[in-house]
Amino acid sequence: MEGFLNLNKPFGITSHDCVARSRRLLRLKRVGHGGTLDPAATGVLPIALGKATRLLQYLRGDKAYRATIRLGVATTTDDLQGEIITSNPVTGLSLEEVKQALGQFEGKIQQVPPNYSAIQRQGKRLYELARAGETIEVEARTVEVNKIEILDWRDGEFPELEVAIACGPGTYIRAIARDLGAALQTGGTLAKLIRTESCGLQLADSLTLEELETKLQEGTFNPITPAAALEHLASVSLASTQAHKWRQGQRILWEDIAERSLPELLQVYREDGVFLGIAQLVNSGDEHLLVPQMVFESIS
């Protein structure tokens, strides 16, 4: 039971709760998740099983969401779970104005994370400090939003905008909702969020906790293999002698000229297809070396 689970996180529970429930269902001690989802958000939550928890850092970082932004309302948490700061009906706002304002949130942008977030300060999460009444200055940071597509526009006193957002790691969709409301001078908050893609896993292929339990009872659950989860990384294959040395933590001289244009991080396999781990391809003079970064199963 080593690999990944594409979990469809339900509404109302934390990502940590999902890990705990998966651990109980699978009867595993080592279970972790790749990328926190807020309790009010649903959708793809990558779950690593067994030794695959060591591979979480190597998964793809890009994500995609379907979000509903409500204008005219601002809250303490930048979503509907927080206390309302302002609530004013919106008049005279056109979809064209919204489209123009949205443009500033594409590309590499500076974004201030929500005060209620999992970022750590002073050894605590920001949401813990916020709940304790402490005011913490959160620095803006650079994030990348690859694309924002408008899916629906529902006019009214508190209009709602439904969008599809593709972005890089560390992007807060709640912050986009908040900042769009500020740009339009209406106030804005996140009303609904579904993560449709994360770490290369798609919502259409995900399992609910109930579906996971059924598959386990039927004996039909098969984890996603490391090879499938890491397919964005190029791979190299080692002969048995090389594989043995590499699994002992030794650097391997890589002489295959055709492979010299490969990126730095590589999947490593034995020639019979057994997954060995992750290597870094480094230059050492005129030579290329495969340096172990994560040995999936070491040997003495």
CA distance 262 to 248: 23
289 forms bridges with which residues in the sheet?
Answer: 253, 282
What superfamily would CATH give domain 3-60+200-227? Pseudouridine synthase (3.30.2350.10)
Domain-wise residue ranges, the chain: 3-60+200-227, 70-171+180-193, 233-295
41 Cβ contact list (under 8 Å, min separation 6) = 9, 11, 193, 194, 195
Residue 38 annotated among the catalytic residues of the structure = yes
233-295 topology per CATH: 2.30.130
pLDDT digits (tens, 9 = 90+) for 240-285: 889 998 888 888 887 765 555 556 789 999 998 889 999 988 877 6
How far from chain centre, in Å, is Cα 87? 31
Any idea which architecture 70-171+180-193 has in CATH? 2-Layer Sandwich (3.30)
Equal CATH topology for 3-60+200-227 and 233-295: no
Evaluate whether 55 touches 294 at the Cβ level (below 8 Å).
yes
pLDDT digits (tens, 9 = 90+) for 117-146: 666 656 666 666 556 566 677 788 999 999
Total length of the chain: 300
CA distance 59 to 26: 22
**Closest by alpha carbon to 81, among 12, 35, 161?**
12
3-state secondary structure of 107: strand
> Given pLDDT bands bounded at 50, 70 and 90, which one contains residue 300?
very low
Determine which one of 38, 78, 79, 179 is catalytic.
Answer: 38
User: For 233, which DSSP code?
Assistant: S
